Amino acid sequence: IIRLFQQYFTVMMFSKKFILGFILCSAIFAFSLGCKDKTPTSENNPISSTKVDSSSKISGLFEATLPCADCEGIQTRLYLRNDFTYIKEENYKGVSDTMPHIFYDLGKWNLKNDSTIMLSGMTADTMNFKLLPDRSLQMLSEAGTALPDSISAKYRFLAKGNHYQTQKQFLVSGVLDKANKDVSLYICVWNATVEASFSSLAKEQLEKLWSQLKKPESTKAIIQGEALIDANNPNKFILQKINTVIEGDNCN
């Protein structure tokens, strides 16, 4: 009887240990599932959406007349687009109309520390601005530091709404894709695609130059020409002139 009792007691103790162990392991397993890595992915990371929201709040047209050593002033219009690209127009006032006096620069802009705007375009120069509470842009030095108080007001760009229209044709280069009915142009300096249409002259020039390619049946080629922005669609370029067409389907 004593031996049977000892065996029964041993079995019961083992069963309790087994049950407790099973419960403990189950709890640990469930806890581990509930505590798996919750690091935000690129799909739900709020940083990207915040940056896009900031872009839409900052984007628009800004104007200033900057000092000029040998002209009446440089009327500058800076158009910041929602997709972090920009067009800068500089009009040297008081210069003879027979001389080139309106120049364009296309590039990309970036927002740093929620208030510093950095421009990087086709030219080697980088421009920096400070976003002020009244939504004006205060130009900074090339090093990104504040200008002296005595001249800073001369380098302040005021917000002028969201509509922008180029005054004259500007140089543009990129990959033209005419595979579809809606022709598109990939702007190399922007790393972005816009719709494209052509003036009668540009269409004639394009067909002639395209026919001279080694593979004229290609649907893509690298072009350089002059364009205007569509007055009704800022994402559409109207090509006025085609200067060159060369083989290639990318900007590299």
Three-state SS annotation for the chain: CHHHHHHHHHHHHHHHHHHHHHHHHHHHHHHHHHCCCCCCCCCCCHHHHHHHHHHHHHCEEEEEEECCCCCCEEEEEEEECCCCEEEEEEEEECCCCCCCCEEEEEEEEEEECCCEEEEEECCCCEEEEEECCCCCEEECCCCCCCCCHHHHHHHEEEECCCCCCCCCCEEEEEEEECCCCCCEEEECCCCEEEEEEECHHHHHHHHHHHHCCCCCCCCEEEEEEEEEEECCEEEEEEEEEEEEEECCCCCC
Name the β-bridge partners of 196.
237
Which among 212, 211, 198 has a CA at the least distance from the CA of 242? 198
- Mean pLDDT along residues 198-210: 97
Site of tokens 């505590």: 35
- Range(s) within the chain of domains with CATH label 2.40.128.640: 50-159
Residue 99: pLDDT over 80: no
Selected residue with higher pLDDT from 9 and 179: 179
In this prediction the pTM is 0.75
- Mean pLDDT along residues 229-241: 93
Residue 220: pLDDT over 60: yes
Residue 96 is inside which H or E element, if any? Answer: none
pLDDT in tens, 73-93: 999 999 999 999 999 999 999
Site of tokens 């540009």: 202
Name the β-bridge partners of 61.
79
Cβ atoms of 240 and 226 closer than 8 Å: yes
pLDDT in tens, 107-137: 999 998 888 999 998 775 789 999 999 999 9
Distance, in Å, from the CA atom of 96 to the CA atom of 202, rounded to the nearest integer, reads 28
Residue 56: pLDDT over 50: yes
Residue 49: pLDDT over 80: no
Distance, in Å, from the CA atom of 11 to the CA atom of 2, rounded to the nearest integer, reads 14
Selected residue with higher pLDDT from 198 and 113: 198
- Range(s) within the chain of domains with CATH label 2.40.50.140: 170-246
- Mean pLDDT along residues 1-22: 40
Cβ neighbours of 173 (radius 10 Å): 19
Q: Spelled out in words, what is the top-level CATH class assigned to the domain 170-246? A: mainly beta
Residue 142: pLDDT over 80: yes
Selected residue with higher pLDDT from 180 and 169: 169
Residue 42's pLDDT is 34
- Token output for 196: 């494209």
Residue 4: pLDDT over 80: no
Residue 53's pLDDT is 58
Selected residue with higher pLDDT from 14 and 251: 251
- Mean pLDDT along residues 233-244: 95
CATH of domain 50-159: 2.40.128.640
Most trustworthy range by pLDDT among 39-48, 217-226, 228-237:
217-226
Selected residue with higher pLDDT from 208 and 13: 208
- Token output for 71: 């002209």
Residue 17's pLDDT is 42
DSSP state of 146: P
